[in-house]
Structure 1
Amino acid sequence: MKARLAASAALALGLALGASGCSMITYQATTEKYDASDGVSVNIGDLDLRNILVVSDDGEDGTLVMTVVNRGERDATLGVQFGEGGGDVVEVDVEAGQTLVLGSKDEDEVVLEGIDAEVGGVLPMFFQYADAEGVEKLVPVLDSRLSEYSHLAP
C-alpha cells in the first residue's frame, strides 16, 4: 500500500515537472520589449515617442514620422537634432496630456532638410525634452514605396 502511494506521488511529481519544467530553463521571448512596427521608440521624461522613422526618396530631405504622447501636466517642446556631429535642430510642441501624430493628415509635415542619409539605412537622431536626459537613437530611413508612406516623401 505504501509502495503504491509512493509510486503515485513520484509519478504525479514527474508529470508536473515534465509539463512545466521547460519554462524554467527555456528563454522566454515574450518577456522582451520590442518595437512592433518599422520605426523605433524612446521615452524621455513625460514624453513617449513611438514609431520614429524618416521617409525620404533621395536621402537628402526626409519627412519625420512619429507619435509623441505627452503624459505630463505641462505643454512640452521636444527638440530633435539630426545628422552626424549634431546637425540641425527641429522643435515639436505637444500640449499637456495630448498625443501628436507627425505624418498624419491632421498635422503639418516636419521636413528634415539635408539629412544626407542612405535610404534603407539609419539616421542618428538626438531627442531632448526640458531638463530630462536626452537620448540618441538610430532612426530608420525608408522610402515611399510602401503604400502607408507613399504620401510622406518630401
Structure 2
Amino acid sequence: MSSYVLGGSVNSRLIASIAIGAAVLLGTTGCSMLATQATAIPYSPAEGVNVPDSGPLEVRNAFIVANEDGSAGNLVAAIVNPTDEAQTLRLEFGESPDTITASVRVPANSVVSLGSEEDDPLLLEGVEMLPGTDIPGFFESGDATGALVAVPILDGALPYLESLVP
C-alpha cells in the first residue's frame, strides 16, 4: 500500500500563488513606497513665495509686478508681525554689485499688506526685473540671519495685477 501526502501539491500551489501575488503587489507599489509624496511637500499656492526663517516677521506671498521693459517693479507681499514690538524687515534684491536695498516697518501685532488698498506696494528700481523671471531676494528681521529666496516677477496681464504695474 502506498502512502500519499494529501494536499502536498495543493499547498505548494497555494504558497506559489501567494508568493507571486506578493511579488506583483510589491512590484507595482514599491516605487511609491520609497518616493517622496507630492502632497507632503510644502509650497505656496499663490503667485508669490512665502519666506521661511526671515526672523520674527513672517513674509507671505511675496512677488514683484514689473513694467514691460523690466526697469521698475512693485513688491507685493503680506508682512506679519506676531510680536509685541514693532519690527523692521530689511530687504535686498538683485545680485552684487547691482542690488536694491529697502526696509519696511511693521507695527506690533499687525500686518502690512504691500499692494493692498491700505498699503502701497514697495517700488523697486535700478535692477533689471523682466516679467516671467525670478530675482534673488534677501529678507531679514530681528536678530535672524535672514533668508534668500527666488522672488517671481509678474506682469500686469491679469486684471487684478493691472493696478500694481509701476
**Interval of TM-score (by shorter of Structure 1 and Structure 2):** 0.7 to 0.9
AA in 2 matched with 1:135: A
Cα pair 2:100 2:127 within 8 Å, conserved? no
User: How many residues are matched?
Assistant: 140
TM-score, normalised via structure 2 length: 0.75
Deviations 1:59-99 (A, max 9, x none): 11000000111111110000111111161211101111111
Tell me the equivalent position of 2:119. 107
Gaps of 5+ in 1: 1-17
C-alpha contact 1:62 1:115 (8 A) present in aligned 2:
no
Q: Give the C-alpha shift of residue 115 in structure 1.
A: 2.3
**8 A contact 1:123–1:138 mirrored in 2:** yes
Backbone CA RMSD of aligned residues = 2.3
Matched, 1:42 2:51: yes
TM-score calculated relative to the size of structure 1? 0.80
Instruction: Give the Cα–Cα distance (whole angstroms) in 1 for the partners of residues 100 and 142 of structure 2.
Output: 18
Q: Runs of at least 4 residues of structure 1 off by over 2 A?
A: 22-30
Matches within 5 A, 1:54-69: 54-57=64-67, 58-69=69-80
Give yes or no for contact 2:73–2:129 (8 Å, CA) kept in 1.
no
> For 1:13-92, what aligned pairs fall within 5 Å after superposition?
27-43=36-52, 44-57=54-67, 58-85=69-96, 87-92=99-104
Q: SS in structure 2 opposite 1:33? A: coil
Which position in structure 1 is the counterpart of 2:162? 150
Identity level (%): 37
C-alpha deviation, 1:28, in angstroms: 3.0
Larger gyration radius, structure 1 or structure 2:
2
